[in-house]
Chain A
Amino acid sequence: MDLILNELENRFGVTNRDERRNDLSFATVGRQTAVEVITWLRDYAGFRHLVMISAVDYPERDSIQLTYLLHNHQTRKDIGLRVVLDRREKTMDSIHHLWAGAQVYQRELREMFGIDFPGSPGVDKPMILEGWREMPPMLKEFDTKKYSEETYFPRPGRFTMEPQTVMENKLYPIETEVKNEIRSIVRDNRSNGGA
């Protein structure tokens, strides 16, 4: 594994090597050289199986990290390539010409995160969600509980046993009631103003 990573470092300048187990390593690759690195790994180093293409959202670093996981059947090793994308401009070159299965992963990433892969077949057709008008749901700003409470009528009667809320209600009942009132008024105003 070290041999391959050394080779990658010399040729393409990958950084942030991280050996997870003896058969799994991660490395960070620049956005411009990523497809070249993947093609080199596929053609010369024997990593012929594309395991998955995934994405992790880091709003505090203002970036989204794409992860390409490749697997070598002969040496039974995995390598994960991290590509850091800017959060405002989320585009990446497509690798559907290397693996046909990549188009499915790219289509899902486009729908869930908003990362565009221009050229990938069918990438702008919705795959999983239908009639979705909000922001891509897997981004960290999307609050799924709030969306569910506002859109799908929740049945009243759910209560929580979380210690903080329970003790708050017990010790300071009036203050918590006022706080909840204000919260619901703000939410109504926001939804009325928005809708």
Chain B
Amino acid sequence: MKSGASSAITVPTEAHSDRTDRLSPWNPFWARETELDLDSGRYVKIWQGPQHPGVTGNMALEVTLEGDVVRDCKTHIGYLHRGFEKLMERRKWIQCFPIVCRICVPEPDTNEYLFAAGVEELSGVEIPVKAAWLRALVLEMIRVASMTMGLGGQAGAYGLGIVGQWAVVHRDYMLDLFEELTGGRVYHMYILPGGVRQDLPEGFSGRMEKVLRMFENLIVDIEKVMFDNAVFKARTKGSGVLPREWVEPFGVTGTTARAAGVPLDVRKDNPYLIYDQLDFEKIVGGESDIYERAFLRKEEILMSIRLIRQILKRMPGEGPVRRKLPNVLHWQVQAGETYVRAESGRGEMGYYMVSDGGEYPRRVHVRGASYTHAMALLEQMARGQSIADIAGLMVSLQTCPPEIER
């Protein structure tokens, strides 16, 4: 950024379509700093900062505005950094699993599953069949709960507060079921290396069916209030468009990529647990604007509800749910490295784990699903938007700060 009296004021005014043809690897437009003459009195720099009701969590955006159009945007994270990877190197393998779920706050079970899957792969432990079904059930349940809250946040960013109220209430019903099954509302610590902690309680399927019906009624209501709403449509259709050519350089996965037309779904591409025995399809869209992404998320909630019903019907009745591990206080996992991945609500989440044959992990690196969405992609997509739409764009890209900076 050049300061001082300069005669040239370059302001990026191209639309998205002008920028896509410059996506050749030898012309990285994302690497250039915008040349804005900040002394000319045309620009205002504000912080959509950590203490703000319009950010998804504890992160900050430093935006440079001209009028109310964003010209430059920088993402600032690091407000939630706890140093998980360093903490895990100080704890034994079995002591890591209570803290792993805190990496992503709205959807903790995916982290637990990935850590357990990585450890099992390195040490060669096989889990019982019923445990795989229970793990898939828990993953789908938390997916429904977290995506519903995401829809509530998306509507709330545009002023539709009622959807957020409904969504959080229904999420509470799902968390009640979690409490019955695992003992905890938010952090479950249910999936651990060797299987799951305990079996389903009596009558669980009946209560789950009731809750799923409540969710289906909720989706019908949300469709009427949010997706058929003229104001929501006018504000979100055509805004926040992610060109299809940007999916690959920015490493976009999950619903954000599927809305742009790139069919990526880890549950179908690299099936894990028992997903290859279930019957579902990928939900792919075409025009990747904010409306489409919210619509696809709503469809995915319905798909997950269908999956939960399938899992409950086809789960084996009897069987152990937990494999006995060797003495866990002195458990030495074989040396090696591996990468396991799963589909979280935001995209592909992965754990890269390295063991050197000792009792403590050598390295655990968490690939947050919205890592590049929030840092590199949001900075490019925010340009040209009005400041009033930035909050909706952030929720639409599903940026989750705890998993970005762990």
Residues on A lying within 8 angstroms of B by beta carbon are: 18, 20-21, 23-24, 26, 48-52, 54-57, 67, 69, 73, 76, 78, 80, 96-101, 103-105, 121, 126-130, 137-138, 142, 144-145
Contacts known (A24-B338, A52-B352, A67-B352); A96 close to B31, Cβ less than 8 A: yes
Q: Across chains A and B, which 8 residue pairs bring their CB atoms closest together, nearest first?
A: A101-B372, A101-B251, A128-B78, A121-B31, A100-B249, A54-B365, A104-B375, A56-B363
A127 touches B78 (CB 8 A): yes
Task: Tell me the dominant secondary structure on chain B's binding face.
Answer: mixed
Q: Is B314 an interface residue (CB 8 A)?
A: no
Contact of B86 among A18, A26, A138 (CB under 8 A): A138
**B209-261 with Cβ < 8 A to chain A:** 248-251, 253
| A6 CA / B250 CA spacing, docked (Å) | 29
Q: How far is the CA of A11 from the CA of B248 in the complex (A)?
A: 26
In-complex Cβ contact of A73 among B26, B264, B352, B372 (8 A): B264
Chain B residues at the A interface, C-beta cutoff of 8 Å: 25-26, 28, 30-31, 33, 77-78, 81, 83, 85-87, 90, 121, 248-251, 253, 264, 269-270, 336-339, 341, 348, 350, 352, 354, 362-363, 365, 367, 371-372, 375-376, 405
The answer to whether A52 and B78 touch across the interface, beta carbons within 8 angstroms, is no
- Which residue from chain A places its CB closest to the CB of B253 in the assembled complex? A49
Chain B positions within 8 Å of A78 at CB level: 339
CA distance A103 to B253 in the complex (A): 17
How many inter-chain residue pairs (CB < 8 Å) link A and B?
103
Given A26-B337, A51-B367, A138-B86 in contact, is the A101-B249 Cβ separation under 8 Å? yes
Docked Cα-Cα span, A48 to B249, in Å, equals: 9
- Other-chain contact of A56, B250, B362, B367 (Cβ < 8 Å): B362
Contact yes or no, A98 B85, CB < 8 A:
no
**Nearest CB to that of A102 among chain B residues?**
B251
Chain A residues lying within 8 Å of B81, measured Cβ to Cβ, are 128-129
B357 CB to nearest chain A CB (Å): 13
CA distance A73 to B125 in the complex (A): 28
Interface contact B78-A101, CB-CB below 8 Å: no
- Minimum distance in angstroms from B375 CB to a CB of chain A: 4
Supply 25 A–B pairs (Cβ within 8 Å), ascending by A.
Answer: A20-B337, A23-B270, A24-B338, A24-B339, A51-B251, A52-B352, A52-B365, A54-B363, A54-B365, A56-B337, A56-B354, A69-B352, A73-B269, A76-B269, A80-B337, A80-B339, A99-B250, A100-B31, A100-B250, A100-B376, A101-B376, A103-B30, A104-B371, A138-B85, A144-B87
